[in-house]
Amino acid sequence: MNEWTLAFLVMLRLTAVTGFVLCYVAGGRGPKWVRRFLGSSLFGIGICILAMALGTFRWPLLLVPGLYIGALVLGYGGDSFFEKLFRRLLYGAAFGGIGLFVGLVTGHTFLAFLQFFLALGISPIMGLTNTEKAANEEAIVATMSTILVPFMV
């Protein structure tokens, strides 16, 4: 592939993440179905389409849209610090687990584990420190939880 094609592919990959982040933040401000179902479905389907276009598609990737829906219906709030910590870790592990799955299926082991630990760490860090406004926190969590996935296909 020439340099322009490679640059265009990077843009497509980042567009998939940006679309997901938009739905994630919009679903935090309004109807939850935008985050849970629309964003997760579009991102998961986008991953499958990218993989097909790049010739890296594997049949297990068809599970990705459903896995993202499952991860996004998990709650991450709580009454106590430890309940919030546990639920945020579970939420991050669910997101990271999907990245791990995609990377292992497509042979990108390093990126798979890196994505897992990014997702696992960002949710409790951002959710428990509350250093950012809610929309910014959601955008950061959504970005860091998915940023490497399109680069694994």
- Average pLDDT on 114-121 reads 97
Those residues with Cβ within 8 angstroms of residue 11's Cβ, 6 or more apart along the chain or in another chain? none
Query: Would you place residue 77 in the very low, low, confident or very high pLDDT band (cuts 50, 70, 90)?
Result: confident
- Average pLDDT on 62-79 reads 92
pTM greater than the 0.85 cutoff: yes
Query: Would you place residue 1 in the very low, low, confident or very high pLDDT band (cuts 50, 70, 90)?
Result: confident
Chain mean pLDDT for the chain: 94
State phi, psi for 23 to the nearest 5 degrees.
Answer: -65, -35
